[in-house]
Chains A and B, each alone.
Chain A
Amino acid sequence: ETGVTQTPRHLVMGMTNKKSLKCEQHLGHNAMYWYKQSAKKPLELMFVYSLEERVENNSVPSRFSPECPNSSHLFLHLHTLQPEDSALYLCASSQGGGLQETQYFGPGTRLLVL
């Protein structure tokens, strides 16, 4: 497989469930990102990891917990979510997490919280 992959592609969960989103990049990049895209709103940055260290946490509620075990994998652990958390969650990666780098996006996980 090439590029950035995400699983699952679709997820429906109740507010009391715990689930995890997975992202994997096959580009040899060192930086990975989580974005949230809600209907009618711009893409919102959630987390940035560079060389497996979190370098940005954009005031995201603690019910979202990221994990980056290595430079190729990124997880987003979800627990006790709210219906307003329903959105498209996009993972992206870039070469090194520095300036002037192109980010490449995965296909996204469409999440519905009931």
Chain B
Amino acid sequence: QKEVEQNSGPLSVPEGAIASLNCTYSDRGSQSFFWYRQYSGKSPELIMFIYSNGDKEDGRFTAQLNKASQYVSLLIRDSQPSDSATYLCAVEKRRALTFGSGTRLQVQP
């Protein structure tokens, strides 16, 4: 089992829709979870982090964490074509991050 699993996609949504990105992790002791966005040919940039169970909202983005199910998700409301990118889920482990392979999101105009 991979430590951090994401559906590779592509996930295709129309402009203005809600995009839902999912991630599961194997280490039950993980405490910190991060979502990064990576445009093609660029480095990852942080979107959100979440430490506690429940939802955390920041603008159009909502991160959801369920530690019992070892599941973290990212919702993007009112998706824009500029949101088209690969979204990386990262789980903290011993001071560093373990990344999933990423989900490619395509927002259709």
Contacts and interface: CB of A to CB of B under 8 A. Distances in A.
Contacts of B42: 107
B1 interface: no
B95 interface: yes
Contacts of B90: 43
Nearest to A58: B96
B66 interface: no
Interface stretch (B10-18, B43-51, B72-80): B43-51
For the residues of B in contact with A, the DSSP-based class is: strand
A103 interface: yes
Interface residues of B, number: 24
Contacts of B96: 33, 45, 48, 56, 58
Contact of B95 (A56, A88, A90, A108): A56
A41 B86 CA distance: 12
Interface residues of A, number: 26
A33 B103 CA distance: 23
Interface of A: 31, 33, 40-45, 48, 50, 55-56, 58, 88, 90, 97-100, 102-108
Contacts of B98: 42, 45
B44 A55 contact: no
Nearest to A105: B43
Given A42-B4, A99-B31, A100-B32, 9 more contacts: A41-B101, A42-B88, A42-B102, A43-B88, A43-B90, A90-B44, A100-B31, A102-B49, A104-B46
A96 B89 CA distance: 22
